[in-house]
Amino acid sequence: MPIEVGKRAPMFTLPADSGEKVALKDLKGKYVVVYFYPKDNTPGCTTEAQGFRDAAKELKKLDAVVLGISKDSIESHCKFRDKHDLNFPLLSDPEGKVLEKYGAWGEKKMYGKTFMGIIRSTAVIGPNGKVVAHFPKVRVKGHVEKVLEAIREHREG
């Protein structure tokens, strides 16, 4: 069951690259951008992560935090973070439970083959814990701007 705008976001607690656990409930009162990506250090995922990194000042102004989630290990996340100077937590969901709750795990097609994998997607959760925007199939180019715009619109709304 994919998530819906206006509904409460599924709660989660996952290990982060910092060595600590990050719980969605602890971020109440802020906008939380939860983005799901297939793999550390791949071209599209690197571009997307750098986009969120570079938008840090604007995100801070909007009282928003970013969380990147994939199935990669914490060790992999640390290398990815350090290589690209990422300034937000990368969370590890090796069993895919959170991916499934957010509709970010499913059938993908590549080179004519169908397989299960991480669907690049983003959920924006409002300060009240409800989903304010959902991007179910993200195209990396221009995505961060769309996320910022969704937060601005919600704040003004």
The amino acid that residue 19 corresponds to is: G
Per-residue pLDDT, 144 = 97
Domain assignment present for 7: no
Q: Which domain holds residue 26?
A: 13-156
Per-residue pLDDT, 110 = 82
Is the model's pLDDT at 79 over the cut of 60?
yes
Per-residue pLDDT, 157 = 81
Domain assignment present for 8: no
What is the chain's percent helix, strand, coil content, to nearest 5? 35, 30, 35
The residues carrying an active-site annotation are 45
Model pTM?
0.95
The angle, 0 to 180 degrees and rounded to 10, between the axes of the packed helices 43-54 and 74-84 is 60
Per-residue pLDDT, 88 = 98
Domain assignment present for 2: no
Per-residue pLDDT, 65 = 97
Q: Average pLDDT of 119-148?
A: 96
Is the model's pLDDT at 1 over the cut of 60?
no
- CATH number of 40's domain: 3.40.30.10
Give the Å distances, CA to CA, from 59 to 31, 34, 44, 79, 119: 9, 13, 21, 24, 24
Domain assignment present for 41: yes
Report pLDDT digits (tens) over 113-130.
999 999 999 999 999 999
Q: What Rg do the C-alpha atoms of the chain give, in angstroms? A: 15
% of the chain residues with pLDDT over 70? 99
Structurally, the chain folds into a number of domains equal to 1
Per-residue pLDDT, 109 = 86
Domain assignment present for 3: no
Per-residue pLDDT, 103 = 94
Domain assignment present for 5: no
Report pLDDT digits (tens) over 5-44.
999 999 999 999 999 999 999 999 999 999 999 999 999 9
Per-residue pLDDT, 101 = 96
Is the model's pLDDT at 66 over the cut of 90?
yes
